[in-house]
Structures are given as C-alpha cells and as structure tokens.
C-alpha cells in the first residue's frame, strides 16, 4: 500500500479511530491490532510475502529466547549464526540470486564455456532489506547482552511489522521502538498535530519535489546517448533532489504517522544537502542505515581504534557493503567505492569529525567558506548519484564519458522547460523551509514560532502547491526497490 494512494487515505483514518477506541482495553489488544493492520498494509502488495515476514520474525523471536537461556558461548554463536544465515540467506536469495548467476555465467563464458543455466523468476519482496536488518539488530543486541529478549510475541511481531516504517524505514533498533509497545499509550493531541505537520511536509517533498524531478530525470536517463555532459549533470542535480524528496519524504510521512499512534521513531534525515564535507553528509543521510553499519559492521571490525590503515580498510568495507545493500548491480558497488574514496582525504587529515553541528548553528547565515564547502560537497554527491541512477554499467560509462568531454560546456538541452521552472520553484521552497528549520527535526517545524494564523497560511500554501504541482498518476517510492 502506497502512502500516496487512495487506499492509504482510507486505511489510515479507519485504523487510527479503531486503534484509539480500543485503548480502554488491555494494551495487548492494541498491539495485536497493530500486527493485524500492519500485515494487511504489507499484504496489500502481495499477500504471499506475509509468510516470509512472519517466518523471519519467528526465527529471531525464538533465537533470542534461546540466547538468553544458553550460557555456553560456542552454542550461543551457533544460535546467532542460524539467525544470520536464515535472514541473510533469504535476503540473498530474493535480492541477489540472479545477479550472482549472471556473473557466474559471464565468468564461464569468458573462458569459452557456455553453461545452460536458467534464471529464476524471482519477485523481490517489498521492504525485505529494511525489516531483515531490523530483526538482525535485535538478535545481535541480545547476543551481545545489550538487550533483554521479549517474551511477548505480539509486541515483537508489532515491532518488526509496524506499518509506518515497515517498507522503507527508518530501520529501528529494538532498544528504541520495542519498549514503546510495552507501555500504555494515551492519545496526545499536540503530538498528533505535530505528526500531521510532518506528514504534510513529507507529502510536499514526495509529490511536489520528487515526482516532478522524476519527469526531468527520466527524460534524460532514458536516452543518454543524445544528451550532452552538461544535460546529464543537470539531470543528476534534479535526481539529487528527487531521491532526497522521495526518501526523506517517506521518512517524514512514516515518522509523522507513528506519532499519530503515540510512537517516536528515530530521525532518518537531518538536512544532508547543507553538509560541508562528505563525512557530515553521511551523518545526516539515511541515518538509520548509516548507524546500523557503524554499530554492526564498522565497530566489530575494529572501527577507528586500530591503525589508520585498518580504519581506512574498515571504512571502504562499510561503504562497499552499503552500496551492495542498495541493489544487485555493480553500479551500486561502484557508488559505495566512490563514496569511500571521497571519505579518504578526511580520514588521512583526521577531519572526518570536524563538522558536527548543522551549518550556521549560532548564526543566521553561513560564511562564504561554508557556502563554498556546501556547494563542493553537493557537487561530489550529485556526481556519485549518477552511479546510483544509471541502470546499467554501459549507461554509467556513457554518463561519465559525456561529462568528461567538451559537451560538458554545451548549453544544457532539457525539453521540459516548464517542468524545470515549476520544479525549481518547489526546490527553492524546500531549501528555504529546511534552512530555517535546520535546528529542528523536520522542515516544517520552524513555523511553530509564528502565530496560529500565519501557521495556517503556511499549511494552506503547501496544500495548494501539492494540489497544483502533483502528478496525475501516483508513483512508488524509490527505496521500495531496495
């Protein structure tokens, strides 16, 4: 079920009303209700994958209880291995089987052999990368004795399948979300209103920014050979705003929806395009995934506590795995590798922790040096997004060849000029709102400083923008494919 669909517009208020009506009963009934509606929400795409979601949840629920009872460390490691093999095995099969098969066939073909192996018609379950990492983090935390396992099966099923963030995150930690299912939830009007504001902002970013940018980006990337290097790079800039509006918009809708039900999800984006270096960018982009890799890959590998060379290797490993997490394509691996190369100078100069606070934290405006650093970082990120957006390696090579040719200095040729103007208008609005909200958790929060009348004017303005600029047909969120 898409957030930007009529189905969800009907589903949400019905669920909201019933959820708070049963508040007077035992807390368990609220949790059971959340499990049911979350499974309905997920099964709306394909009910067959509900068994996969339930199986993955059941494995980690059972393994965690066994880990708690067992004192023998060797046996505990076996239990953990079962969880890792099961979850990563399912993820690997559905997401990467045909990719590895293709590369296996190509290797043999290179040496003159032509194996006759058929591809499997595998449908990628929506959100499998997200809920797999969520359940894995729970089991790993129980193994490391950082978390007590729950015996409440319904709370655990609700934690894994909680519908606002099930499909595209944030990837929640059990230490944050699971305890919220144990506590009685009382309707909080101010929290619900804040949730609605964040939902509105999320829809603005998705419907006005992301979907309109998509028209421009798709026009160029669907026929790369006829476009100059300058046109491709301009398209990559629009793609930067498309993927940000799309993914952070989803996160805002998810977090805002969770607030309607009395839950607090972690912040997933903190204005990454105001970053002054690539390290700051990755502390602000897809925070739930970046911190997941930090805690469960980077730190176990030794993190930064070992030698500089080992720190560099660990950083490269994390970025490459992160790239591969995004999809079964060498383009994603190269995207991860490129970002690790961006990171390398900061590690060598020990400046990767230089910019912790948001830009102009105690000032109204950034300095000239900060503006230059922001623009330079943004250009690096936009170039990296080309690796992400190009569907094939051959398309990627066309992009790079054209960008590093004299055609980069040609006047950009993009036919949809009216769309470019309107989309650029929306992007400017988003940038202004987010700049003035840069100390807050989402881009509409700054208007809380104004009087109610002015606040309502902002809401009406955004709703009008959505009504006038949204596309006629609904489009899925980009990260659904991951």
Q: Which of 114, 119, 286, 326 is catalytic?
A: 326
| Burial environment of residue 98 by CB neighbours within 10 A (0 to 12, 13 to 18, 19 or more) | middle
Q: Which of 421, 386, 424 is nearest to 403 (CA)?
A: 386
Residues 143, 147, 149: CA angle, nearest 5 degrees: 80
Residue 286 appears among annotated catalytic residues: no
The beta strand positions in 11-109, using DSSP E, are: none
Q: Are 21 and 15 in contact (CB under 8 A)?
A: no
CA distances from 336 to 112, 320, 324, 385 (A): 32, 5, 8, 10
Neighbours of 124 (CB within 10 A): 17
Nearest CA among 91, 149, 95 for reference residue 122: 95
Residue in the structure block whose two tokens are 């040609």: 410
Query: CA–CA separation, 398 vs 389, rounded Å?
Result: 12
Contact predicate 111/149, CB 8 Å: no
The CA-atom distances, in angstroms, between 258 and each of 127, 134, 185, 196 are: 17, 17, 12, 10
Tell me the chain's radius of gyration from C-alpha atoms. Answer: 23
Tokens, residue 435: 């700049």
Q: How far is the C-alpha of 370 from the C-alpha of 121, rounded, in Å?
A: 50
Q: How far apart are CA 190 and CA 339, in angstroms?
A: 40
Least Cα distance to 260 among 16, 9, 4, 37 occurs for 16
- Cβ atoms of 188 and 398 within 8 Å: the answer is no
Question: Which residues are part of the catalytic machinery?
Answer: 326
């Amino acid at each position: 079920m898409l957030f930007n669909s009529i189905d969800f517009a009907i589903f949400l208020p019905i669920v909201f009303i019933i959820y708070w009506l049963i508040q007077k009963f035992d807390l368990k009934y609220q949790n059971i209700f959340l499990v049911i509606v979350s499974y309905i929400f997920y099964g709306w795409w394909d009910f067959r994958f509900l068994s996969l979601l339930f199986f993955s949840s059941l494995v980690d629920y059972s393994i965690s209880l066994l880990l708690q009872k067992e004192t023998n460390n060797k046996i505990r490691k076996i239990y953990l291995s079962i969880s890792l093999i099961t979850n990563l095995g399912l993820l690997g099969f559905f997401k990467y089987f045909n990719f590895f098969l293709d590369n296996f066939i190509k290797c043999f073909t290179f040496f003159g052999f032509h194996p006759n192996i058929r591809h499997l018609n595998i449908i990628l379950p929506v959100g499998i990368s997200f809920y797999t990492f969520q359940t894995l983090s729970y089991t790993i935390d129980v193994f490391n004795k950082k978390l007590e396992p729950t015996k409440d099966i319904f709370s655990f099923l609700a934690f894994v399948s909680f519908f606002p963030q099930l499909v595209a995150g944030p990837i929640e930690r059990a230490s944050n979300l699971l305890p919220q299912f144990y506590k009685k939830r009382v309707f909080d009007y101010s929290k619900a209103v804040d949730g609605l504001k964040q939902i509105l902002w999320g829809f603005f970013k998705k419907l006005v920014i992301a979907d309109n940018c998509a028209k421009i980006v798709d026009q160029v990337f669907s026929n790369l050979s006829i476009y100059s290097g300058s046109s491709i790079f301009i398209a990559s800039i629009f793609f930067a705003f498309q993927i940000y509006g799309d993914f952070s918009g989803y996160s805002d809708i998810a977090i805002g929806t969770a607030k309607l039900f009395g839950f607090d999800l972690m912040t997933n984006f903190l204005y990454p395009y105001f970053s002054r270096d690539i390290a700051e960018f990755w502390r602000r982009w897809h925070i739930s995934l970046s911190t997941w890799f930090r805690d469960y890959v980077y730190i176990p590998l030794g993190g930064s506590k070992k030698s500089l060379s080992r720190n560099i290797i660990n950083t490269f490993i994390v970025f490459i795995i992160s790239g591969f997490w995004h999809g079964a394509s060498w383009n994603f691996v190269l995207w991860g590798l490129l970002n690790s190369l961006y990171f390398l100078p900061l590690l060598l100069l020990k400046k990767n922790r230089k910019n912790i606070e948001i830009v102009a934290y105690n000032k109204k405006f950034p300095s000239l040096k900060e503006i230059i650093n922001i623009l330079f970082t943004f250009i690096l990120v936009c170039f990296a997004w080309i690796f992400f957006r190009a569907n094939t390696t051959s398309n990627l090579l066309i992009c790079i060849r054209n960008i590093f040719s004299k055609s980069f200095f040609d006047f950009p040729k993009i036919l949809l000029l009216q769309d470019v103007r309107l989309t650029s208008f929306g992007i400017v609005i988003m940038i202004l709102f987010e700049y003035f909200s840069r100390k807050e958790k989402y881009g509409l929060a700054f208007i809380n400083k104004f009087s109610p009348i002015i606040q309502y004017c902002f809401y009406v303005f955004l709703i009008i923008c959505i009504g006038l600029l949204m596309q006629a047909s609904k489009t899925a969120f980009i990260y659904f494919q991951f």
